């Protein structure tokens, strides 16, 4: 009897079976080194590094690691790799000679390569070849030197996520660790511009995006504290009126939509109230802060090693370490991979 054949198309793999796509970051920074260390520790056995194999081999050598490196043609080839392998897949048209760039120096070639890796990771994810994206640190000056029009990951990913001709999705940056989650209304711009950029609709959007993220975290009714902009949250208008004219109306609109937002609270104390420390549960699940440094200083103070940057609002999951390229220690093999490991674990949690 002849074998039975079916015309039914094979089912696509479940998202959990897809690899994490880890972009290599700036070739002259510590990104490749922390990737190599995380892989050697078994933390990236389900991941494919989108980058240059020479750069990754150089990084492993700098860290004193002897480990197998698999050069893949496509992320789907990861399934055939055994545990303990550093799997690398290069984007099309990636420049050559990247492994010869000096450590710890701003270089347009490194900036261009970092951007190309991000573009390829997004493309593969959109094609269903990646579960989530974990980005190693890039250098903003290197991006600028390469002519990249975006100041950082968040803005680039937002643009890449939009369909041709479609508006860009509203996104927000969240920095999180085991004790505190902070979401920002404004990010990479001068403080003066950030204050001018604040608006009630923008704050409402931030609260809605944060609420949706909380639901994704498994919280039934995420509690969101809103930090004020001015000292003492404006002290009733004595120190500025943005809390009255912009922030409080946004909170009211969010609450009317069923979002558990409260505030505005004095920004010098609200983070302590939200901190989920041992023996002292936090009063809030998230804090929404108006500006970059208002929100990120408290999280980073608690420990850069465990901090994770998450871009909320994208149609795919993206996480990143909460530190930069650390040019001062690049090539020394001493960089700590803990934040990258935390970012990979967070990506798996958000993209089950």
Q: How many CA atoms lie within 13 Å of 206's alpha carbon, on the beta-carbon side? A: 29
**pLDDT value at residue 165:** 83
Same domain for 139 and 243?
no
**pLDDT value at residue 189:** 87
Same domain for 17 and 158?
yes
On whether residue 83 sits in a domain, the answer given is yes
Structural domain that includes position 261: 178-302
On whether residue 259 sits in a domain, the answer given is yes
On whether residue 107 sits in a domain, the answer given is yes
184: Cα separation from own chain's centroid: 13
Name the domain count of the chain: 2
On whether residue 258 sits in a domain, the answer given is yes
34: Cα separation from own chain's centroid: 16
**pLDDT value at residue 9:** 45
Same domain for 324 and 252?
no
Distance CA 111, CA 152 (A): 11
Same domain for 183 and 160?
no
Residue 176 β-bridge partners? 181, 308
186: Cα separation from own chain's centroid: 16
Dihedral sign of CA atoms 173, 224, 191, 244 in order:
positive
Is the distance from CB of 235 to CB of 243 less than 8 angstroms? no
Distance CA 265, CA 267 (A): 6
Closest CA to 75 of 49, 93, 44: 49
List the CATH number of the domain containing 216. Answer: 3.40.718.10
Helix (H, G, I), strand (E, B) or coil at 33: helix
> Mean pLDDT by 10-residue block, N- to C-terminus, for the chain (352 residues)?
41 73 97 97 96 97 94 94 93 93 96 96 95 96 94 90 86 90 92 94 97 90 96 88 95 98 95 88 95 90 82 93 94 95 92 76
**pLDDT value at residue 12:** 54
Same domain for 139 and 241?
no
Same domain for 65 and 152?
yes
Same domain for 70 and 98?
yes
**pLDDT value at residue 349:** 87
3-class DSSP string for 206-221: HHHHHHHHHHHCCCCC
Same domain for 211 and 147?
no
Same domain for 206 and 294?
yes
CA distances from 318 to 21, 42, 76, 313 (A): 10, 20, 19, 10
On whether residue 170 sits in a domain, the answer given is no
Distance CA 219, CA 231 (A): 31
Same domain for 82 and 201?
no
pTM of the model as a whole: 0.84
Same domain for 93 and 191?
no
Radius of gyration of the chain (CA): 21
Distance CA 70, CA 80 (A): 10
Same domain for 184 and 159?
no
């Amino acid at each position: 009897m002849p074998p039975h054949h079916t015309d039914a198309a094979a089912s696509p793999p479940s998202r959990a079976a897809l690899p994490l796509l880890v972009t290599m970051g700036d070739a002259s920074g510590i990104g490749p080194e922390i990737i190599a260390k995380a892989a050697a520790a078994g933390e990236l056995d389900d991941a494919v590094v989108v980058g240059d194999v020479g750069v990754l081999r150089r990084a492993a050598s700098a860290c004193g690691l002897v480990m197998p490196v698999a050069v893949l043609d496509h992320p789907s080839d990861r399934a055939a790799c055994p545990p303990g392998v550093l799997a690398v897949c290069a984007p099309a048209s990636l420049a050559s000679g990247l492994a010869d760039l000096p450590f710890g120096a701003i270089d347009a070639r490194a900036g261009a390569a970092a951007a190309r890796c991000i573009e390829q990771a997004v493309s593969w994810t959109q094609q269903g070849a990646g579960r989530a994206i974990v980005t190693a640190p890039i250098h903003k000056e290197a991006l600028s030197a390469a002519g990249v029009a975006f100041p950082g990951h968040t803005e680039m990913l937002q643009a890449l996520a939009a369909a041709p001709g479609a508006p860009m999705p509203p996104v927000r940056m969240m920095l999180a660790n085991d004790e505190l989650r902070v979401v920002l209304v404004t990010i990479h711009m001068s403080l003066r511009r950030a204050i001018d950029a604040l608006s009630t609709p923008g704050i409402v959007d931030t609260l809605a995006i944060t609420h949706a993220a909380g639901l994704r975290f498994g919280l039934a009714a995420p509690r969101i504290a809103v930090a004020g902009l001015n000292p003492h949250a404006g002290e009733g208008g004595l120190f500025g009126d943005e809390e009255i004219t912009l922030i409080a109306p946004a909170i009211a609109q969010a609450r009317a939509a069923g979002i558990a937002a409260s505030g505005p609270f004095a920004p010098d104390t609200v983070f302590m109230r939200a901190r989920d420390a041992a023996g002292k549960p936090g009063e809030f699940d998230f804090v929404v802060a108006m500006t970059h440094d208002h929100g990120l200083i408290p999280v980073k103070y608690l420990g850069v090693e465990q901090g994770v940057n998450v871009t909320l609002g994208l149609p795919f999951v993206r996480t990143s370490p909460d530190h930069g390229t650390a040019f001062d220690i690049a090539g020394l093999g001493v960089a700590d991979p803990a934040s990258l490991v935390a970012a990979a674990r967070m990506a798996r949690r958000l993209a089950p």
